[in-house]
Structure formats: structure tokens, C-alpha cells
């Protein structure tokens, strides 16, 4: 990636209200960092609280920072209740569209009533209590935001599991969260087929029970109408339960302390076990409310579409809590972006008159490949802001997005952030003051965010030099910790650069970055053993653990290979046990094992069989060598290598893989 040399794009012909305003932005940012507590105190006052906080930031037990200590609220008050009796009550919250083309339009008033009914059901019929955990395994249907809001309304904690995850992955998350209730669906549509979700859910409940966590109640939304087996006394249809609720059901939003857990969301780390990231009630609410406003400058007439899945953090923040807190009208879509034709997305933007569109570079690369004729069929002139998230956006894709999709008038809001950060951290903020854009850079840290780039030794990196991204001050959207594992929280995010004896605490996101001469940040991908496949975060260890579950496998090492659409794809180096021979069939079986244990997104693009892996004398796999070979880089220092012939074998396997990729 070229850095900082794309200045022809700094004077973009934006609408007048978006003329770049670096000076104003820097001033706001500077002021915010001088006193972050005063800054966030004022921002939190824009929201509804049952009781105001006594202390903006409790930093007495770092890195367990607690925001708005003493404050009491419920996010429903800001996302739903506040709209009742205003004109927003009659405004559409979600224009939902199923993959087959079926449609629903749900107003804020309807959403409020449905959430109240379901909250009533969860409380009165299911018997959920505050702080109980509920796993939600639903596709992109309106009942997903309804469930999340109903759960938080009664003070319970949701753990949404992406509907593309396998039964085993769901079971693992149910067990870790100790969820007694699961909300799921019969099935959903994907590329014209019905995916039988209930079957996975049933299997997950069985596995969870074997591991000591009994799911007592399963609530099933009827979406696809496929045949499902309902277990008597355990499984209930959502629509039948809803009928039991009084027509005018009202459930008072449970008062929650600012530092009560709002939700858990699992994400991948460097070990096989996913981390339950905990977000707070008051801090997350405040951060998301403000960042949403800065990112999108929401206006009453906007039609906003974040084409992510709610199963990931982007959907939690930018499809559920952020937009609802601003009374925004959204488009929500169930299915594949290129089904039934490659212009599904562009066609929908035109039909709904979308003004703000937020997606991932992977989706853009996929859709660009089909050719511009699909874009040109549609009038996209309503678009006024475009967003990008999840992975670095290549400058050429950025330019295509800007000119071809946005018609050269819609600024691109490239948002760098993580499951752990709650909302965007480094990104343009047209709702505050738009800075000049550089294609491929997420621009500058938002107000209140003290980001920098460090050398591996913990010194500030020179401008233009690649280093490691760090965040030097706490922010309200930060995770509270890892569910059930405080030590892992400290180890993963704080140990790398903090100096507790000096009172210095530095958050380490594990991303490479460059800060250029003008202070712009260029995000360059993960610095740990985590892959970013199509904008989805996957731990290499998670995939390796799944592969070695196959009885023929002795050892496995997974690395990311560059991919023109998905950014990177997993490639597995596999050593077989004695008595097994490499074969096409074995490769398929191994792929199937990964699909079963983790899910389709984790399936390796290729399994490369080798007789040994490059290791150090102490027996540690030298992953660095595998990565260099797969990425076509020099392999560097190999003095600690135990058996150099292992490298030759891996080299041959990689060449074979590259030939195959070229052919396809």
C-alpha cells in the first residue's frame, strides 16, 4: 500500500455541508483529550438516564475502568421509549426484506409494542430475571433486534451468536455464557436455499447439556416454514408466546447500573477458546450514541443501510443500538448480496432511496468483480455517505466506491474499530467536521480517542513507519472485560505495553498501523494469530483445534493466504498420523470437520499435506516461516530451525497451492 501519496483526493467535490474542515475537527479533538472526563460527561447528558452518575470515570482499578459510576439507565429508554408520542413513533424503523423478496415495514411504535410483548413473555412466561444470560441464534429477521431489545429491557444479558456458526460453536458459547434460554428460528434463506437453523440449535442444546449446561427453554421464530422437531416442555413457538401477551403489554425498563453488563459477544482470539467480550450499559450506550452521530450525521429523511449481520459487533452497534437511538429509518436484508443477481444491493439502494450505505471491503470487492454494468443499471444518486468496515480497504476499491457508487459526491467513512471497542475509533466524522480524505486511510482518531503507533519496544513510531496501534486513554465504549476470565482480559489487551508500576495503562488492539506525517492512520491488518476472512475475525488456533479433531490428523498449522476478494483465506498445513496417506477425500473430510466444528466461514481454502512442519528446537511451530512462504516474502532468520528440510517441503506445498489458485 502506498502511504500518504493520494492527495489528489483531498479536495473532493462534496456537497457544501461536507467541505473538509480539518481545523475544526482537530480543535474539537484537542479539547476532548485535554479533559476526557469533562468531554464524555457532557456527551452522556444527551441521553436519558434514570439517575445521573456520581463519577464520570472510575479508574481506581485499572484496567477495569468503569464509566458513569453510580448512573442508572436502560438502553431501551433511548432506543425505543423516547420516541413514543413523537413523530418518530410513526416513522419506519426497519424496511426489512427477505431474500425471496418478501417485505415488512416496522415503525418505531410497532417495534416498541412488539418488544414490550416479548419482554412480557420473557419475564412472565419464561421467567427470566435480571442478569440471566440468553443466547440468541437468529438470522437477519426483525425478531433479532426485537429479541435483543426485549432481553435488555428486562435487564437480562444477550449473547448473540452469528447464524453462520455451527452447532458446536453455538454450544461452546452457550456453555461459556451459561445460557438457560435460547432464541432461534426454524430456518432462513441463503442463496435460494433454506438453511435448517433449528437442527443446529437442537444439536447445540444437546452438546451443551453433555457439558453441564442445560438450556431449559428454546423459543423458535417461524421464518422459513421448514419442518422442525419441537421438544415438548422445552420448545415454544415465538408467535404463540406473543399471543399470550396482553395487547397493551408494557414492561417497565429494568433500571440498570451504568456498569452492569449490557451484552456479551464472542470473538476470536489467539487460543482456540473464543472470548466473551462484555459491554457495559452506560458506557456503550453513550459511546455508540455519539459515534453514530459523528459517523453519519443522521437527518430525519435518511434511509440508512448497514449491510452487515447483527451476529457481529457491527450489527449490534450500527443496525440495532446506534440507529435506533437516533430514530433512523433502516433497510435490513436477510440474504446473500449477489442473489438472485449481482445487482441485488444496487437495486435495493435504488428502490429504497438509500442515503447512507455501510458495508465491508469484501462485499465491495465481490460486487465489483461482476462488472460495472450491474451498477450502471441503477440510479444511486440518493447516496450521500458511504461507509467501510472490518478490514483495510484497498485504495483502488476506495476510489471505485467513491466514484462509481457514490458518484464522486459521497464521502467515504472508513471506520476502524473492533468488537472490543464498541463503535468506531478511527474514522472520518462528517457529523462533526469532515477532514480531507485519503483513499485507504481511516483518517484520524475520533474525539476522546488517544491513539498512537508504537514500535515493538513501546516507543512512539516515527511518522511513516509501520508499528503497532495503541490506545492510550480509556473510552466509554471499551469492553468491561472477558466474561469469566479477568486474567485473559489483562493478558490480551493490556500486558503488551502497560507499565502498571508507573500507573501507565495502554490498550493493545493487535493491529499493525502507520501514522503518516499528517497524523493520518493507515491500518494494516492483524499483528497476532488472528485471521480476517471476508471481514470476519477467526483465530488460527480455533481452526487448528478443529482440524486435529479429525482422527487422521497429527498436527496442523493454519495461516492466512492473500485473496483478491476475501482479503485473506485460511490455508492449512497438515501432518497426518502414521498409516494415513494424503488424498482428495481426506482433504474434503478435514474441510467438513472444520465446517462442523466452527462453521462454513472457517473452512480452509486448501489443505496442504506435509510430512513435517518447520519447528524450533524446543518444538514450537515456526508459523512466521509458513506466513512468509504463503505471502511470497523472504523467510528471514532460520537459525532456530530444527530441521531445514521441513522448509523445503512446505515450499513445495506452497508452490503447488499457488499454481492451483492461479488456475482457479
CB closer to ligand PRX, 523 vs 547: 523
Q: Can you tell me which of 330, 415, 492, 593 binds ligand PRX, judged by CB under 6 A?
A: 415
Quote the least distance from Cβ 451 to ligand PRX, whole Å: 13
Neighbour-count burial of 91, counting CB atoms closer than 10 A to its CB (0-12 exposed, 13-18 middle, 19+ buried): middle
Integer Cα distance of 310 and 3 in angstroms: 33
313: contact with ligand PRX by CB under 6 A: yes
- Maximum separation of any 2 CA atoms in the chain, in Å: 74
419: contact with ligand PRX by CB under 6 A: yes
Q: Note if the bond before 217 is cis, omega within 30 degrees.
A: no
DSSP-derived letter for residue 231 is: P
429: contact with ligand PRX by CB under 6 A: no
Quote the least distance from Cβ 635 to ligand PRX, whole Å: 24
Among positions 232-251, residues that touch ligand PRX (CB under 6 A) are none
Do 368 and 336 meet the contact criterion of CB atoms below 8 Å apart?
no
CB closer to ligand PRX, 20 vs 567: 567
418: contact with ligand PRX by CB under 6 A: yes
Grid coordinates standing for 187? Answer: 430456518
CB closer to ligand PRX, 228 vs 561: 561
Beta bridge partners of 266: 276
Quote the least distance from Cβ 312 to ligand PRX, whole Å: 6
Integer Cα distance of 502 and 474 in angstroms: 16
75: contact with ligand PRX by CB under 6 A: no
Quote the least distance from Cβ 602 to ligand PRX, whole Å: 14
3-state class percentages of the chain: helix first, strand second, coil last, to nearest 5: 35, 25, 40
Integer Cα distance of 361 and 364 in angstroms: 5
Among positions 508-527, residues that touch ligand PRX (CB under 6 A) are 509, 511, 523, 525-526
387: contact with ligand PRX by CB under 6 A: no
The edge-to-edge listing of strands for the beta sheet with 466-471 is 451-454, 466-471, 511-515, 521-526
Quote the least distance from Cβ 453 to ligand PRX, whole Å: 14
3-state secondary structure of 262: strand
389: contact with ligand PRX by CB under 6 A: yes
Integer Cα distance of 393 and 388 in angstroms: 7
CB closer to ligand PRX, 312 vs 489: 312
94: contact with ligand PRX by CB under 6 A: no
Integer Cα distance of 246 and 343 in angstroms: 43
Q: Could you tell me which stretch among 166-174, 412-420, 614-622, 628-636 binds ligand PRX (CB under 6 A)?
A: 412-420
Q: Could you tell me which stretch among 293-301, 408-416, 475-483, 639-647 binds ligand PRX (CB under 6 A)?
A: 408-416
Grid coordinates standing for 447? Answer: 474525539
Q: Could you tell me which stretch among 124-132, 309-317, 373-381, 592-600 binds ligand PRX (CB under 6 A)?
A: 309-317
Integer Cα distance of 614 and 532 in angstroms: 24
Q: Can you tell me which of 220, 325, 442, 480 binds ligand PRX, judged by CB under 6 A?
A: 442
392: contact with ligand PRX by CB under 6 A: yes
First-to-last C-alpha distance (Å) of the chain: 25
Q: Can you tell me which of 416, 497, 520, 573 binds ligand PRX, judged by CB under 6 A?
A: 416
253: contact with ligand PRX by CB under 6 A: no
CB atoms within 10 A of CB 467: 22
Grid coordinates standing for 266? Answer: 464472542
164: contact with ligand PRX by CB under 6 A: no
When computed from its CA atoms, the radius of gyration of the chain, rounded to whole angstroms, is 24
Quote the least distance from Cβ 358 to ligand PRX, whole Å: 11
How many residues interact with ligand PRX (rule CB under 6 A)? Answer: 23
Do 494 and 506 meet the contact criterion of CB atoms below 8 Å apart?
yes
Q: Could you tell me which stretch among 161-169, 383-391, 475-483, 632-640 binds ligand PRX (CB under 6 A)?
A: 383-391
For cell 416442555, what's the residue? 233
Q: Can you tell me which of 39, 417, 507, 521 binds ligand PRX, judged by CB under 6 A?
A: 417
- Pairing type for strands 235-237 and 217-221 reads parallel
DSSP-derived letter for residue 454 is: E
CB atoms within 10 A of CB 512: 16
537: contact with ligand PRX by CB under 6 A: yes
CB closer to ligand PRX, 41 vs 450: 450
> Pattern 108-147, binding to ligand PRX, x per CB under 6 A?
----------------------------------------
309: contact with ligand PRX by CB under 6 A: no
468: contact with ligand PRX by CB under 6 A: no
Beta bridge partners of 576: 553
Q: Can you tell me which of 186, 260, 391, 649 binds ligand PRX, judged by CB under 6 A?
A: 391
Integer Cα distance of 563 and 532 in angstroms: 11
For cell 515456526, what's the residue? 622
Site residues for ligand PRX per CB under 6 A: 267, 312-314, 388-392, 414-419, 442, 509, 511, 523, 525-526, 532, 537
Amino acid at each position: 500500500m502506498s502511504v500518504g501519496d493520494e492527495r489528489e483526493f483531498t479536495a473532493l467535490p462534496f456537497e457544501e455541508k461536507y467541505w473538509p474542515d480539518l481545523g475544526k475537527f482537530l480543535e474539537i479533538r484537542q479539547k476532548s483529550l485535554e479533559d476526557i472526563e469533562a468531554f464524555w460527561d457532557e456527551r452522556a447528558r444527551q441521553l436519558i438516564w434514570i439517575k445521573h452518575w456520581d463519577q464520570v470515570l472510575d479508574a481506581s482499578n485499572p484496567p477495569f475502568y468503569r464509566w458513569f459510576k453510580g448512573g442508572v439507565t436502560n438502553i431501551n429508554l433511548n432506543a425505543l421509549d423516547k420516541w413514543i408520542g413523537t413523530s418518530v413513533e410513526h416513522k419506519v424503523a426497519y424496511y426489512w426484506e427477505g431474500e425471496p423478496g418478501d417485505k415488512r415495514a416496522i415503525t418505531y411504535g410497532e417495534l416498541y409494542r412488539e418488544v414490550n410483548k416479548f419482554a412480557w413473555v420473557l419475564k412472565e412466561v419464561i421467567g427470566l430475571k435480571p442478569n440471566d444470560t440468553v443466547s440468541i441464534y437468529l438470522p437477519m429477521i426483525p425478531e433479532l433486534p426485537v429479541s435483543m431489545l426485549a432481553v435488555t429491557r428486562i435487564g437480562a444479558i444477550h449473547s448473540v451468536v452469528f447464524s453462520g456458526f455451527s452447532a458446536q460453536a453455538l454450544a461452546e458459547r452457550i456453555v461459556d455464557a451459561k445460557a438457560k434460554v435460547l432464541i432461534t428460528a426454524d430456518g432462513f434463506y441463503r442463496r435460494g436455499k433454506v438453511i435448517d437453523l433449528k437442527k443446529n440449535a437442537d444439536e447445540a442444546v444437546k452438546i451443551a447439556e453433555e457439558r453441564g449446561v442445560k438450556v431449559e427453554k428454546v423459543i423458535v421464530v417461524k421464518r422459513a416454514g421448514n419442518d422442525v422437531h419441537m421438544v415438548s416442555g422445552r420448545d415454544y413457538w415465538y408467535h404463540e408466546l406473543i399471543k399470550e401477551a396482553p395487547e397493551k403489554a408494557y414492561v417497565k425498563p429494568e433500571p440498570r447500573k451504568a456498569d452492569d453488563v449490557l451484552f456479551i459477544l464472542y470473538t476470536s482470539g489467539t487460543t482456540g477458546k473464543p472470548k466473551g467480550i462484555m459491554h457495559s450499559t452506560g458506557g456503550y450506550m453513550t459511546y455508540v450514541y455519539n459515534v453514530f452521530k459523528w459517523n453519519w450525521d443522521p437527518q430525519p429523511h435518511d434511509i440508512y443501510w448497514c449491510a452487515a449481520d447483527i451476529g457481529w459487533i457491527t450489527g449490534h452497534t450500527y443496525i440495532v443500538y446506534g440507529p435506533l437511538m437516533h430514530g433512523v429509518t433502516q433497510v435490513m436484508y436477510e440474504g446473500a448480496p449477489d442473489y438472485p443477481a449481482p445487482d441485488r444491493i444496487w437495486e435495493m439502494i435504488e428502490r429504497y432511496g438509500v442515503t447512507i450505505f455501510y458495508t465491508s471491503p469484501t462485499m465491495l470487492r465481490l460486487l465489483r468483480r461482476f462488472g460495472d454494468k450491474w451498477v450502471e443499471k441503477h440510479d444511486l444518486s440518493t447516496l450521500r455517505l458511504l461507509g467501510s468496515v472490518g478490514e483495510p480497504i484497498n485504495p483502488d476499491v476506495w476510489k471505485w466506491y467513491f466514484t462509481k457508487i457514490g458518484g464522486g459526491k459521497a464521502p467515504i467513512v472508513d471506520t476502524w474499530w473492533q468488537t472490543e471497542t464498541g463503535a468506531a475509533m478511527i474514522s472520518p466524522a462528517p457529523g462533526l467536521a469532515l477532514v480531507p480524505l485519503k483513499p485507504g486511510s481511516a483518517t484520524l482518531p475520533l474525539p476522546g480517542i488517544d491513539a498512537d503507533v508504537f514500535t515493538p519496544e513501546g516507543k512512539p513510531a516515527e511518522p511513516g513507519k509501520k508499528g503497532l496501534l495503541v490506545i492510550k486513554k480509556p473510552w466509554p465504549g471499551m469492553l468491561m472485560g472477558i466474561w469469566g476470565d479477568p486474567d485473559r482480559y489483562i493478558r490480551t489487551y493490556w500486558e503488551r505495553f502497560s507499565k502498571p508500576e508507573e500507573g501507565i495503562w495502554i490498550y493493545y488492539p493487535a493491529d499493525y498501523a502507520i501514522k503518516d506525517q499528517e497524523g493520518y492512520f493507515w491500518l494494516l491488518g492483524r499483528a497476532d494469530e488472528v485471521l480476517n476472512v471476508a471481514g470476519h475475525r477467526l483465530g488460527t488456533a480455533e481452526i487448528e483445534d478443529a482440524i486435529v479433531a479429525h482422527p487422521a490428523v497429527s498436527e496442523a498449522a493454519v495461516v492466512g493466504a492473500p485473496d483478491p476478494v476475501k482479503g485473506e483465506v485460511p490455508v492449512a498445513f497438515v501432518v497426518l498420523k502414521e498409516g494415513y496417506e494424503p488424498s482428495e477425500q481426506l482433504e474434503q473430510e478435514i474441510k467438513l470437520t472444520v465446517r462442523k466444528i466452527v462453521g462454513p466461514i472457517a473452512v480452509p481454502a486448501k489443505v496442504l499435506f506435509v510430512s513435517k512442519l518447520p519447528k524450533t528446537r524446543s518444538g514450537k511451530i515456526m508459523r512466521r516461516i509458513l506466513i512468509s512462504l504463503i505471502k511470497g516474502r523472504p523467510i528471514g532468520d532460520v537459525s532456530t530451525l530444527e530441521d531445514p528440510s521441513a522448509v523445503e517441503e512446505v515450499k513445495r506445498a506452497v508452490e503447488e497451492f499457488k499454481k492451483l489458485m492461479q488456475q482457479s
